[in-house]
Structure formats: structure tokens, C-alpha cells
A and B are shown apart, each in its own frame.
Chain A
Amino acid sequence: MSFPGLLSAGILSAAVPAQVEELPHVVEPTIVWVAIAYFAIVTVIGAWATRRTRTAGDFFLAGKGIGLIALSLSVMSATLSGFTFIGGPGLVYSIGLGAMFIVLPAALTNAMGAWALAKRLRLMAEVRRTITLPDAIGARYRSPLAQGLAGVSILVAVIGYMATNILALGLVIDAVFGIGVGWGIWLGMGITMAYAVGGGIVAGIYTDVFQGSLMAVASVLVFLFTLQAGGGLSGISETILAADPGFLGPWGHLTPIAALSFFFVFGMGSLGQPHVIHKFYMLRDPLKLRWYPLVTTFALIVAMLLYFGVGVAVKALTVEGALDPLTNPDNATPIFLLNYTPLILAALVFSGVAAAIMSTVNSFMNIGAAAMMHDIPVSLGKRIDNELLWGRICTVVISVAAALLAQHSGMLVAFLGVFGWGLFASTLVPALAIGLNWKGATRAGAIASIGTGLAITLVFETLAFFELYSFPVGVTVSGLSLVLSILIFFGVSWLSRETAADTLDPDIRVVMEA
């Protein structure tokens, strides 16, 4: 079973070369036992969270009761996924410094998110019973249609993202336990579902705290080993420059437009990632937002050391001949860990990869279930009575659907995963991030921009996947759909500007002016 770009999918566009092979098997008693311990801890946290989950507010918003550290670490964990530890280093190995443009905006994105969204969303939760991001869109524009469209966009992207991540989880579990990808999918899904269905986002947040802490520590340790193996950063650079100077050029092996496009899409696009920004609702004390960008950005930068370190070190080691050139770039991390780090550290990282994927899947389960059970019915004028029960049922339905898709849909799963980031960005950034900060934005502008993002992403990603049409080098569907949805949002809002005041309730106005 092989899938192109699996661990990169959902993040990258067709501009990035695809990987086509499974991960190497690393079945070692130490790695297996650490993985079992890891899953046991996650299960215990899930059981504890289940006892704390009594209402829909607990299930979807952790009772609005989490602290700053929990918020920061869960945002970090949900942001990173398995891509940072497997697909990312593989991408650095393949295209050099150009791959860093995906993570390069990190020093800016959390502060941008804090100014543009965190305060507004958290205050929105003070004045309204908002449990989802489409709720905020619906409240901002007094528009069930805008809420429903945003809910549909989220659901479509979530199922694709989840299927891709679950398949990646199956590959990682198969690599560790040697049980086959099919069983790996269902074992990983079973454990994730066990805590997500019972404990909802409470379980997700606190497993993220555990997983995020471990990821950060493991990343620093692995980075130190990469420096040791490559003879320091200067040694790594000199080795690579002698054989492949373009690798350490400012854009790596990408064109300037392609690299800058990554910077734009992953920078501005961060304002539309629901599994991350949804967590702003949950902070117990809004005044604690003061430290959010500082803490979260630090955690992200630390966790990304592995992304960069492994990618360049493995490149240098293959240039030196210490390692054979990789046939599958996704193998960069497993091969480095097995050859250059103590087994216990390798074990922690392998478990950390599984855990990172699980934490992302858990976040998607939660927001997908909310879109299905809450946003889409609300847009049709219906309200579900027992939101906790239906939230749990929808979590199971989405999870099983995504696992079946992962196991049986072949190449389709990779296709579904490719457009997740871009779809979130183009449908949510204008209506939410700009709209919550601009009283001149209108309902028509929001609906037009969400529709534009949805249509452009689905049509052009489909055409590209089936090789019916492709953009010129450097132009990505996600970048183009994001920029067009922003321009459409401004244009249509300007054209319908006389209606702007009609779409603003007094309490929402207070939130926007705070």
C-alpha cells in the first residue's frame, strides 16, 4: 500500500514532490514498550476527561476553563501534526531551505492571531453561546447561510484531513508494531476515538499538553544529535554547499514565487485553521491572552528544531556517504533516529509522531462533529436538543467514515488531504479574521468570499489531481484561492456597503470595539 505525499498531504500543494513508500519497520522492544506506555497514558487522560465532560460546553469548549499553558501547548500540538516530525524533515531533505518557508512565519503568526482573532473570539464567547467558529460568523453577520457555508467548508476539509492523518497514523503504528497498515488505522483510530468520544475536547486539550511537552523536549534532544552527527551547523553547511549549493540557497530548490507563496499561505492562512483558533474560546481568563503569543511561539520554535535539523543533517550525511540516498524522503527521520540517537529517544519520537497525529485528529473530530451536529442544522433553522449526545454520535460517525476512507479509497485519500489547509484559509480568513475587525464588512461579502474559497479550491484541486489542468510553477491553488477570497470579500463588501450597519448586533459591536 503506498500513497503519495501522505505525511505531507493536507499541508502541501502540488508544487512539492510526492513520497511513494511506506515507513521502514522499526519493531524493537524498547520502541514497542514506550509506545504502549504512551497509549496507556493517553487512555488514562481520556478516562479522566470523560468524567469531567458533562455538558456540550465541556465537550466542545472544555467548559471555557483551560489555562494559558494548556492553551499554548494544545495549539502547538494541533498545529504541528505528524508532518513536523516526518513529512517536514523529508521535505527539507528534498527541496532544501525552501521547505522552511512553511514554518518561517511562525514568529509572526501567533501574535497576528492574538491581535486579529484571540481577543475577539474570546470576548464573543462572553456575549454569545458560541461553540464553533461558524457560530461566530453567523453572529457577526446575522446570517445562518454564512454559518452553514462555513460549516460545510469545515466538514469537507475535516474529513479529508482526518482520512489523511489516520492513514499516516496507520503507517506509523505499522512501522512500530509491525501489524499492517489496516490494523494500524483501526488501532490508532480506536484509541483516539476512545478518548475523543468520551472526553471531547477536554481529553484533546490535556493529551495535547502531555504530548506537546514531550514533543518539545524530544525535538531539542534530536536537534543536538543532528549537530553532533553533522559536525555542527557549519560542518553541515560546508558539506552540503560543496555538493549542492542550491540546497542552502534562500529558496532552496523552489522558485522565489513558490517559496514566498508558502510564506503567504502558511502565514495568513494560519488565521483560518479552525482546529487551532477554535481553542481561543476555551481560555478561562481572557486577560491571560497577554502571554499567549510569547509562550506559544517559543514552544513552536523549539518543536521545529527537529524539522530543520534532521532535514539538513540527513542531507549532509548522504552527501558524505555515511547514509545511502533516500528513496523515500519521509524516511529521513526514522533513519536518522535509528542510526544516530539512543534507542529510548527514537522510541519517544516515534510515539511522539503517533501522538502528534492523534492530537490533530482529535481536534478535527471535535470541530467536524460540531459542524455536523450544530452549524449545518442551525443554518437550516433546526437546533439539536441533546448536543452532548449528538456530539458524541457525530464524532463516531465522522471517525468511522474517515477511517473507512483511509483504508479503502486508495489514491483519493491523498487528494482529500491536499486541499485542507487552503480550504480552511480561503473560506475562513476573510469572513472571520478581517470581518471581526472591520465593521464595514457585509453579509454579502462574507458569503461571496466563503463561496469563492470553496469553489476555487475544490474545482482547481480536482483538475490538478486528475491532471486536467495545472498552474504555472510557483502558483498554488491554496495561495490563489486565499488571495481571491480576500479580494472578493473587500470588493463585495464595498459594493454592498449600505447594508453593513444592518448586519451588526449591539453586543457584537461592543466585542468589535473592545
Chain B
Amino acid sequence: MSDSAQSPGPDMHRWALLLVFASALAIGVAYASAFLPGGTPGWAPWLFMMGTSVIMVAMMAVGAARRGSIGRLWIPFSMVIVIVMGGFGVVLALPPADPGDPNLWLGLPPRAAVIMYGIGFLPYFLVPVAYAWTFDELTLGEGDLERVRDEALRARGDTPR
């Protein structure tokens, strides 16, 4: 699906696009399962959880990839998938809290705490930080901007600097 494989190693842009497609398909199947007689099957939330966790990170990778590579960004992206998918998995697997003896984590029942602090808050310390940290090298540097501006001049019929 991609024509950007120009660097050695796996073409991460192509893989990320495939993951976006596969995740959308998984979410579509999970939605479709709700139409089955007898209601939503037990595997549907798991499939949906995997699809929705992966599609957002894959979309980040699609945007971040340059010449088929995402460089060191594979580390924060992998960590976010583990946190979000792992968090939802833990929540689906853990038993409900005992109302008679509430064991609270930072003021919330364990499964609620995983949702709020783990999935809702922890990625803040990973992806926006990774974006800022790698910006010059992997997203946009002075040289990239010059090239785009030169191309703009060329497109208007002017001479690039």
C-alpha cells in the first residue's frame, strides 16, 4: 500500500497503514457481531479493544514515518500500545470491586484507576514528550522547511534560493 520503502529494514509506513486497515476491520467485525442473534458475543469487546488501541498508535506511526522509518519512535509507540491494550485487557479480565471492602488505588477502585490513570493519563508522559524530543530529527527540521519553501517557489514559477 505504500511506495515509501527507501530505507533499510522493515517499511514501517507500510506496516502502520496495514495496521490501520486491520484495526478498522477488527472494529467493524466487533460492531457487526452486535447484530448477531443473542447479542454481542464475549469476544467482541476484546476485538474492539485491540482494534481501537492499535488504530490510534498506527495512525501516529503513519504520520510519523519518513522514508519508511519511524526511528526511535517505535519505543514510545510500543509502550503506548502495551499501556492502552494492556490496560483495557486488565480491566476486562479483573473481577469487579467488592463494595463492602473497597480497595482504592489513588482514590479509585482498581479497574477505574487503570482506566483513568493508566489509559487516560500515562500516555501523556510518552507521546507528546516523544514528539517534542524527536521533532527536529524525525518530524520537521530547518532543512525540511527550506525544501518545502523552495518547492513552493518552483511551483509558482520563481527561482528557489
Contacts and interface: CB of A to CB of B under 8 A. Distances in A.
A256 B45 CA distance: 6
A126 interface: yes
Interface string A477-505: 00110011011001000100000000001
A250 B49 CA distance: 13
A122 to B, nearest CB: 9
Given A261-B48, A490-B21, A438 B2 contact: yes
Contacts of A100: 115-116, 120
B7 interface: no
B79 interface: no
Contacts of A511: 148
Contacts of A479: 27, 31
Contacts of B99: 241-242, 245
Contact of B128 (A111, A267, A308, A483): A111
Chain B contact-residue range equals 35 or more
Contact of A115 (B3, B4, B64, B119): B64
A290 B104 CA distance: 37
B31 A112 contact: no
B102 A237 contact: yes
B20 A507 contact: no
A484 B27 CA distance: 10
By CB atoms of chain A within 10 A, which of B24, B63, B88, B107 has the most? B63
> Is chain A's interface secondary structure helix, strand, loop, or mixed overall?
helix
Nearest to A263: B52
A134 B6 CA distance: 31
Given A105-B56, A255-B40, A263-B52, A510 B148 contact: yes
Given A241-B109, A439-B3, A127 B151 contact: yes
A112 B58 CA distance: 9
Interface of A: 97, 100, 103-112, 114-117, 119-120, 123, 126-128, 232-234, 236-238, 241-242, 245, 248-250, 255-257, 260-261, 263-264, 267-268, 271, 286-287, 289-291, 293-294, 297-298, 301, 308, 433-434, 437-440, 471-475, 479-480, 483-484, 486-487, 490, 494, 505-507, 510-511, 513-514
Given A249-B96, A438-B2, 6 more contacts: A107-B127, A267-B56, A287-B140, A294-B131, A438-B17, A513-B67
Interface of B: 1-4, 17, 20-21, 24-25, 27-28, 30-31, 34-35, 39-40, 44-45, 48-49, 51-52, 55-57, 59-60, 62-67, 80, 84, 88, 91-92, 96-97, 99, 102, 104, 106-109, 111-112, 114-116, 119-124, 127-132, 135-136, 139-142, 144-145, 147-149, 151-152, 154-155
19 contacts: A104-B119, A105-B56, A108-B123, A237-B109, A241-B97, A245-B99, A249-B109, A257-B31, A264-B51, A290-B135, A294-B131, A297-B128, A434-B20, A438-B1, A472-B35, A474-B34, A475-B35, A506-B155, A514-B144
